[in-house]
Structure 1
Amino acid sequence: MSLLDEFHIFSQIFCLSLVIFMVVRVIYLLYKIFTSQCGLSSTKPLRTIICIGSGGHTTEMLRLVKSMNMTKYNPRMYVLADNDESSEVKIHEAEKDHINYRLSRIPRSRNVQQPYLSSIWSTLYAIGHAIPILLIYRPNVIFCNGPGTCIPICLVAFFMRCAFLMDCRIVFIESICRVRSLSLTGRILEFFADLIIVQWPELRDACYRAKYFGRLT
C-alpha cells in the first residue's frame, strides 16, 4: 500500500470519526436541553444578545428589556434586520440611560408573505452574516421572541456550542398574541432552545417544555 493510499484511508477514518463525534455531541446537548434547567444562575455579568423582530415584537421585547437586571445582562448587543429602521429608534430610546450596548444587523431571513421555499436561501444568507457576529461577540445568553430574524442567530449559536466554540443559552419568549399555538419560530426553537417561555396557560399543552410565568409584557 502506497503512502498516498494510507493517507486517503486515514483521512476517511478521521472524517468519519469527526462526524460520529459531532452527532454524539448534538444528541448529548439536546438531552441536556430537554432534561435540564436553563443554567442562567451565574452571578457574573452575562454577555447578552437580544434579537429584535419588528413592530409589535420589538415593543414586547423592549418591555422585557426594561424589566431586566441591566447589571447582570451586560454588555448587550441588539441584533435586528438590516431593513428595520424603526426598531433602531426604539432601542436607543429604551437604552437612553445606559451606554454599554451596541447594535448589529443581519439580512432578514424571511420577509412578510415571502414563500417558505425561497426563505431557505435568504435564511442561509442571513446565517452567513450571523457567524462572524457570534464568533466575535461570544454571547452567554440570547433572548428572542421571533419572528424569523432570530433563527439564524440561534442556529449558529447552537452549532457553535456543539463545536465547543462558545457556551451560550437560548431563551425564547413566545409573543403575547399567541394564545393556543406556537408561532413558526417557536415550533422551530422548541427543539433546541434552552428555555421556552409562554404567556398563556393554554400554550403549555402546545409545548410540553414551555414554562408559564404569567404575562410578561
Structure 2
Amino acid sequence: MNVSFINRSRHVGQSYISSIFTTLWAFFTVIPLVYRIRPKLILVNGPGTCIPIVIASLLLSFFFLIDRPKIVFVESICRVQSLSLTGKILQHLPVHILVQWPQLTELYPKTQYIGRLV
C-alpha cells in the first residue's frame, strides 16, 4: 500500500487571500500524483484539501490524459443547515455530493441524502 501526502490548501486561521497561493501550490503538487495513480473513484470529504485533487483529476480527464474518475464528496455530519465552503464549490463541478441531513437536499438540489455515513 502506498501513502501519499499532499499539501493543505488552507491552514486553520489562514486568510482567504493567502489561501489562494497555498491552494495553487497544492494543486500543482497533486497533478503528478493523480496522473500516476489514475484513480477510478475519488472519495473525498472535509476541508479544501480535496479541491486540488478533484480539479486535477477533472483537468487531466478533460485533456484525455486519464479516464474520468467518479468523484464523491461526503459532507460533514456537522453541516446541518448549509454546505461547507468546499461543498459549495464542488456543487458546481461534476461531483456526487452526499449530505448527512435530508433537509440539505431541499436547499442544494444537486446533493443526495442516502442516510448517515458516520
What do residues 19-76 of structure 1 show as CA deviations (whole Å, max 9, x unaligned)?
xxxxxxxxxxxxxxxxxxxxxxxxxxxxxxxxxxxxxxxxxxxxxxxxxxxxxxxxxx
The residue that corresponds to 2:95 in the other structure is: 194
The answer to whether the 8 Å contact 1:182/1:206 transfers is no
What do residues 184-216 of structure 1 show as CA deviations (whole Å, max 9, x unaligned)?
000011111431111101111221011111111
Structure whose alpha-carbon radius of gyration is higher: 1
Instruction: Provide TM-score, normalisation by structure 2.
Output: 0.94
5+ long unaligned stretches in structure 1:
1-100
The residue that corresponds to 1:141 in the other structure is: 41
The number of aligned residues is 117
5+ long unaligned stretches in structure 2:
none
Q: Does 1:165 align with 2:65?
A: yes
SS at match of 2:73: strand
Instruction: Provide TM-score, normalisation by structure 1.
Output: 0.52
- Mapped to 1, the partners of 2:6 and 2:116 lie a distance apart of 30
- Greater fraction of residues in helix: 1
The answer to whether the 8 Å contact 1:126/1:152 transfers is yes
SS at match of 1:164: coil
Task: Give the fraction of aligned pairs with identical amino acids, expressed as a percent.
Answer: 49
- Mapped to 1, the partners of 2:107 and 2:21 lie a distance apart of 29
The answer to whether the 8 Å contact 1:171/1:196 transfers is yes
SS at match of 1:180: coil
- Mapped to 2, the partners of 1:140 and 1:110 lie a distance apart of 26
CA RMSD of aligned residues (A): 1.0
The residue that corresponds to 2:109 in the other structure is: 208
User: Which runs of structure 1 show a deviation greater than 3 angstroms over 4 or more consecutive aligned residues?
Assistant: none
